Amino acid sequence: MKKKILLVDDSMMSRLMIKKCLPSSDQYSYELQEADGGTKCLDFYRKAPYDLVLLDLTMPDMDGFETLEKLREMDPDARVVIVTADIQQKAAERVFALGALEVVKKPTSQEKMTAVLEKYL
Amino acid sequence: MEALTELRQGALQEIINISFGRASASLAELLKVYVALNVPNVQEIPQSQIIESLEQRIGIDTDITVVQQSFTGDFEGEVLLAIPANAGLRAIKMLGQGRGFAPALPATDLEMEAFLEIGNIVIGACMGQFAELLNTSLSYEVPDILLTKSSITNLRRDESNKDVKALALLIKTDFQMGDEALSGFLFILFGQRWFDMLYLALDKFIEEMT
């Protein structure tokens, strides 16, 4: 059965850039769905949990910190990798404390995203 | 003239997001605080409304200090880092934390030094990453400090374009530093004569990255 990945980023350009770096969905047998904000992410996840969430931090409606917190309240086993331009140590410490698995800095690469899927999917 | 399409606007927003992310990390390291980022805004405005637009975005009642730096290269423009004027002493305090900071200058001179240092870090890191992502290089002029908002009117205008309908591209991102919520704005301005070159670089970026 195909694994489900949710890509959460308010920027369409950013989602395009990340999608280009993901390995082929046939190779890793996954389905990708996109959400353009934290609220939508929580709505989607509530309907059907995902195997992996790729989450941005800087978003206008609900930022990634709040989204992550609510997501982990909803599902303490939610697997979330942060993909962000916010590369500050304090941001990383905060998301790890909230249960994120890893922080990937933007712009990412095919090697990095393949490694992420390899490790967490 | 080429237009600011949705795709180009999105690319520019993402490039600034990444670039300011780098800048904020440098600033966070310097000030030992967390710098909260917001989503950048990109807008085409008439050149004649630059001053009014800046004032609107900063807030009409806020007395600000602006570090302004011009850049040249494949495209030219200006970067403005606007920080509330009353933030000077707090900035000095943050800069001095844990460094055995021994003030040897009057507070106002120190404030200017603090603003220049913050401007140097933020503008350098942001524009360096911006140029790298667009696969170009930029040169910078010596930064100026504009002490009051009214000084913004001294901004260098794009004198080559006298058309009253000429446009400018205004990119704005705002941020908050540390527990004291010291906030600031970063503006990047391009005159219309540079749009074609900028959009060409953006198109190459889009083609390569998506």
Pick from A14, A57, A60: which is nearest to B14 by CB? A14
Res. B153: pLDDT tops 60: no
Specify the higher pLDDT residue, B117 or B39: B39
Q: Is B116 among the domain residues? A: yes
Confidence bin at A70 (pLDDT 50/70/90): very high
Q: Token pair for residue B44?
A: 């085409």
Higher-scoring residue by pLDDT: B32, B26 = B26
B188 versus B109: the higher-pLDDT residue is B188
* Chain B residues close to A14, C-beta within 8 Å: 14, 17
Q: Which residues of B34-50 are buried (b: 16+ CB within 10 A; e: fewer)?
A: bbbbbbbebeeeebeeb
Number of domains in chain B: 1
Distances (CA, A) of B113 to B67, B103, B124: 11, 11, 16
Q: In Å, how far is B60's CA from the nearest CA of chain A?
A: 24
What is the least distance, in Å, from the CA of A94 to any CA of chain B? 11
Q: Which contiguous run of DSSP H or E holds residue A101?
A: none
Q: What is the pLDDT of residue B168?
A: 85
Instruction: Give the CATH number, domain containing residue A11.
Output: 3.40.50.2300
Instruction: Decide if pLDDT at B156 tops 60.
Output: no
CATH of the domain at B195: 3.40.1550.10
For residue A10, the enclosing domain spans 3-120
- Domain extent, residue B192, equals 6-209
- Please give the pLDDT value at position B42: 93
Tokens for B196, please give them: 């074609």
Domain count, chain A: 1
According to the model, what pLDDT value does residue A83 have? 98
Q: A59 contacts in B (CB within 8 Å)?
A: 39
Chain B positions touching A91 (Cβ under 8 A) are: 34
| B24 in contact with chain A, both atoms CB, cutoff 8 A | yes
Q: What pLDDT, in 10s, does the model give residues B38-68? A: 999 999 888 777 777 777 777 656 677 888 8
Distance of CA A37 to the CA centre of its chain: 11
Task: Compute CA distances A63 → A100, A107, B11, whole Å.
Answer: 14, 19, 20
pLDDT (0 to 100) of residue B181: 67
- Are A85 and B35 within 8 A, CB to CB? no
Q: What is the pLDDT of residues A5-60, one digit of tens each?
A: 999 999 999 999 999 999 998 888 999 999 999 999 999 999 999 999 999 999 99
What ipTM was reported for this prediction?
0.90
- B1 in a domain, yes or no? no
Q: How far apart are CA B49 and CA A39, in angstroms?
A: 36
Task: Summarize the confidence of residues A75-90 as an average pLDDT.
Answer: 97
Structure tokens, B206: 């889009």
Cβ-defined contact of B10 to A12 (cutoff 8 Å):
yes
For residues A48 and A82, the answer to whether their CB atoms sit within 8 Å is: no
Gap between the Cα atoms of A43 and B193, Å rounded: 45
Longest dimension (CA), chain B: 55
Smallest CA–CA distance, residue B207 to chain A, in Å, is 10
- pLDDT at residue A77 in the model: 97
